[in-house]
C-alpha cells in the first residue's frame, strides 16, 4: 500500500500513533489474559474481583480526562492568542472521558449485581459519579450548540472549569458521606500482589488507549474545523461576488 492511500484511509494516523495503537492492542490483550486467567479469585468476592481491573482504571482515566479538559480550557482562556488547539484537545479529552466513565458505570453495575446484590443504589459514590457523567455529556452538547469556533471554545472552557470541580467531589464522596461503595484499596495497600500487578497492567493499557483516542479525535476535530472554515470562506466569496454584481 502506498503512503498516500494509507494516509487517506487513516488520515489522523502517524508513525507514532500506529506504534501506540499496536501497544494499546497488546496492552488490552495482556489485561484480558491477566484479568480473566492468570490473576487469582478473591477470598470473599471470588471471581467478581476481576471486574476491578477494568472498573478502576477506566474511572481513574475518566478523572484524568476531565482534568486534562480543565487544564486545556485554562490554556485556551489564559493566552490572548486564544489557540483553538487547546479547545480541541479539551473537547477530545472530555469525549474520551465520557466513554470511559460510561464503561466505569456499566462495569460497576455488573459488579454491584454480583457482590452487593443490586445493579444500582443511590449512595454517595454512585450518585456523584452519575452526576459527573451527565455533566460532561452536557459539556459535549454545549460544544455542539453552534456559533464560531471561538464562541464554542469560550463557552465550553468556562463550563469545563466549573465541571472539573466535581472530580474531587466524586473521589472524596466515600469519605465525606456514608457510602455503600467501598473505600480506597490501592493507596491503602489492600490488594494482593498479583491483583495489584493486574490492576497496574489495566492502568497502563487504558492510559495508552486514552492517549491514542485523544490524538485521533483532536485531529479529526481540527479537520472538522477546517471544513467549516472552507464553508465560511466559500460563503464569503459568494457574498462578495453578489455585492460586486
Partner 1 sequence: MDLSPREVVPTAPGRKRKRPWLAMGVLAAVLIGGGVLVFQFLTNAIDYYCNVDEIGVKDGCDVGRTIRIQGVVEKGSVSEAGSGRTEFVIGYHGATMPVVVGSQPTGLFQECIPVVVAGKVVEDGGTRVFEGTEVIVKHDNNYDAENADRVDQANQEAAACSQKD
Partner 2 sequence: MIAMENAAYVVGSYVVTLGGIAAYAWVVLARARRAARQVPREDRPWT
CB of 228 to partner 2, least distance (A): 10
Q: At 148, is the secondary structure helix, strand, or coil?
A: coil
Phi, psi of 146 (to 5 degrees): 100, -170
* 75's grid cell: 490554556
Spatial CB neighbours of 129, under 8 Å, sequence gap ≥ 6: 59, 101, 104, 105, 108, 170
Output the DSSP codes for 201-239.
Answer: HHHHHHHHHHHHHHHHHHHHHHHHHHHHHHHHHHHHHHH
CB of 99 to partner 2, least distance (A): 5
Binding string, residues 197-236; x marks residues near partner 2 by CB under 8 A: ------------x---x--xx-xx-xxx-xx--x------
Is 168 a binding residue for partner 2 by CB under 8 A? The answer is no
Length of the chain: 245
* 189's grid cell: 495497600
Q: At 165, is the secondary structure helix, strand, or coil?
A: coil
* 14's grid cell: 502517524
241: partner contacted, choices partner 1, partner 2, none (Cβ within 5-8 A by kind): none
25: partner contacted, choices partner 1, partner 2, none (Cβ within 5-8 A by kind): none
Is 44 a binding residue for partner 2 by CB under 8 A? The answer is no
* 120's grid cell: 444500582
CB of 38 to partner 2, least distance (A): 8
Distance CA 236, CA 245 (A): 14
Output 162 or 227, the one with its CB closest to partner 2: 227
Interface with partner 2 (CB under 8 A), residue total: 43
Binding string, residues 82-111; x marks residues near partner 2 by CB under 8 A: -----------------x--xx--xx--xx
The residues binding partner 1 (CB under 8 A) are: 40-46, 48-49, 52, 113-118, 121-124, 126-128, 130-131, 134-135, 137-138, 140-146, 173, 177-180, 182-185, 188, 190-192, 194-195, 235, 239, 242-244
Distance CA 6, CA 46 (A): 47
If one counts every other C-beta atom within 10 angstroms of the C-beta of residue 11, the result is 11
99: partner contacted, choices partner 2, partner 1, none (Cβ within 5-8 A by kind): partner 2
- By the 8 A CB rule, do 72 and 93 touch? yes
Q: What's the number of CA atoms in the CB half-sphere (13 Å) around residue 34? A: 21
Output 69 or 209, the one with its CB closest to partner 1: 69
Q: Which residues sit at the interface with partner 2, rule CB under 8 A?
A: 4, 7-12, 14, 28, 32, 35-37, 41, 46-48, 50-51, 54-55, 58, 99, 102-103, 106-107, 110-111, 113-114, 209, 213, 216-217, 219-220, 222-224, 226-227, 230
Amino acid at each position: 500500500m502506498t503512503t498516500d492511500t494509507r494516509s487517506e484511509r487513516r488520515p489522523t494516523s502517524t508513525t507514532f500513533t500506529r506504534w501506540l495503537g499496536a501497544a494499546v492492542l497488546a496492552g488490552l490483550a495482556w489485561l484480558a489474559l491477566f484479568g480473566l486467567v492468570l490473576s487469582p479469585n478473591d477470598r470473599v468476592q471470588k471471581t467478581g474481583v476481576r471486574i476491578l481491573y477494568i472498573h478502576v482504571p477506566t474511572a481513574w482515566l475518566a478523572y484524568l480526562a476531565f482534568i486534562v479538559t480543565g487544564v486545556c480550557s485554562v490554556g485556551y482562556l489564559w493566552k490572548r492568542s486564544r489557540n483553538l488547539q487547546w479547545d480541541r484537545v479539551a473537547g477530545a479529552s472530555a469525549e474520551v472521558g465520557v466513554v470511559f466513565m460510561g464503561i466505569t458505570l456499566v462495569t460497576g453495575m455488573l459488579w454491584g449485581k454480583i457482590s452487593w446484590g443490586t445493579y444500582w443504589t443511590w449512595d454517595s459514590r454512585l450518585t456523584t459519579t452519575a452526576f459527573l457523567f451527565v455533566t460532561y455529556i452536557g459539556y459535549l452538547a454545549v460544544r455542539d450548540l453552534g456559533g464560531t469556533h471561538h464562541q464554542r471554545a469560550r463557552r465550553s472552557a468556562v463550563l469545563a472549569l466549573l465541571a472539573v470541580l466535581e472530580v474531587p467531589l466524586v473521589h472524596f464522596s466515600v469519605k465525606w458521606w456514608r457510602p455503600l461503595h467501598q473505600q480506597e484499596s490501592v493507596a491503602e495497600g489492600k490488594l494482593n500482589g498479583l491483583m495489584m500487578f493486574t490492576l497496574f497492567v489495566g492502568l497502563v493499557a487504558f492510559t495508552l488507549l486514552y492517549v491514542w483516542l485523544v490524538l485521533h479525535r483532536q485531529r479529526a476535530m481540527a479537520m472538522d474545523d477546517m471544513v467549516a472554515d472552507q464553508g465560511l470562506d466559500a460563503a464569503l466569496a459568494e457574498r462578495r461576488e453578489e455585492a460586486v454584481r
